[in-house]
Structure formats: structure tokens, C-alpha cells
Chains A and B, each alone.
Chain A
Amino acid sequence: QKEVEQDPGPLSVPEGAIVSLNCTYSNSAFQYFMWYRQYSRKGPELLMYTYSSGNKEDGRFTAQVDKSSKYISLFIRDSQPSDSATYLCAMIRWDSWGKFQFGAGTQVVVTP
């Protein structure tokens, strides 16, 4: 079983809809959580990071962490075709700071 599980999709939504993405993890040592966006054949781009349970908002993006359930989410409001990409969750253990553990990524397609 992988330490970080993420549904690979693809997830297809109409323009303007809310995109809901999530990851589950098995190890409670993970303390810091990030979401990256990756366009085809490009490097991952950091969208958001958080370390506490609860919600964090940045523009159209909301990151949610539930440490008791070992579950993190990313919501994208008012989705645009330019949001079509693969979204990767990543997390860091407190005892292995340099080693980011990534999910497999969810492919999102926003149709006009």
C-alpha cells in the first residue's frame, strides 16, 4: 500500500464548476501538505501549502486538511479551461524534511 493515495482520474468538469480533489495518507508523521499543478511535459508548480488542520484559501483555491482522518482536499472554484492539468498532492514527514512524498496525481479536464 502506498503511503499517499490519490485518484488518478481523469476528472472532467464543465467550465465554472467546482473541482474537488483529495488524497489520503497512512502515516500520521506527515505534518506538512502541499498541492502542485503540473501541465503536460512541464515541472510541478506549487499552488498551496499548509500544516494545520482546517481550511486555507488563496483566490479560487481552498486547501483543506483533516489530520484525524488523514485526508486532504483541494477545491477549485469557478474552474477555467486553463485549470486543465494534473494536480499532485505532496506531504512531508517531520522526521524526513527533505523527502516530499507525492501522490500519483489527478488529471483534471475543464471543458468550455
Chain B
Amino acid sequence: DTGVSQDPRHKITKRGQNVTFRCDPISEHNRLYWYRQTLGQGPEFLTYFQNEAQLEKSRLLSDRFSAERPKGSFSTLEIQRTEQGDSAMYLCASSGDQGSTEAFFGQGTRLTVV
């Protein structure tokens, strides 16, 4: 396990459809983060997990968005009833416990809503 893995790398979906993304963190990392990045902007925080517990959620994470990390390993991010404004790169990162500032990002899932 050499890094954070995200699947799929690209997703094109029609407006109104549901999509689900998966993230596999670095195996020994307890913390897992989801961020969203649009063109020309830095990543924006969505949510993060400590093991299986979701500790913080951004106001950006509307009720159409849900994230899970059921066994404290991989995580999924689901977007229901997608809108064109959801088009972005969705990034996952992982790190050790609090006190570890080294968060490592995956390659991202690029979502296009048409």
C-alpha cells in the first residue's frame, strides 16, 4: 500500500443521478478526509473521520451528500440527485492521529454532471 487510492478517477453523470466514490486510505492511517476542488481554487473541506467516527462536516456538505467509513478503513462519498454545480474534483486524504500534520492525498475523482 503505497498511497491513497480513489475510484473511479473520472465519472460523467446526468443531472439528477446518484453517484458514489470510494477512497482507500494508507493502511495505518486513522484519519480520513474528503475535500472538493474546483478549477482555479484550492481544495475545500467537506468532512473527516477518525476511524469510523465522522468528527466534522462542512456546511458545504448539504443533505444530498453523505459520507461513510463503516469499518474505519475505506470510505465512500455519495452524492444524491446530482446538480451541475457538483462538478468538481473530489479529493480524499489520510493521516495519522491528531498531532500528525502529514496528510497525503489521492489522485482524486473528477466528476462531471451534464
Interface residues of A (CB under 8 A from B): 4, 6, 8, 32, 34, 36, 41-46, 49, 51, 88, 90, 92, 96-105
Contacts and interface: CB of A to CB of B under 8 A. Distances in A.
Given A98-B31, A98-B48, A6 B55 contact: no
Contacts of B43: 44, 88, 100, 102
A34 B4 CA distance: 18
A99 to B, nearest CB: 5
B42 A105 contact: yes
A32 to B, nearest CB: 5
For chain B, the bracket of interface size reads 20 to 34
Interface of B: 4, 6, 31, 33, 35, 40-45, 48, 50, 55-56, 58, 91, 98, 101-108, 110
Q: How would you classify the secondary structure of chain A's contact residues: helix, strand, loop or mixed?
A: strand
Contact of B45 (A6, A101, A105): A101
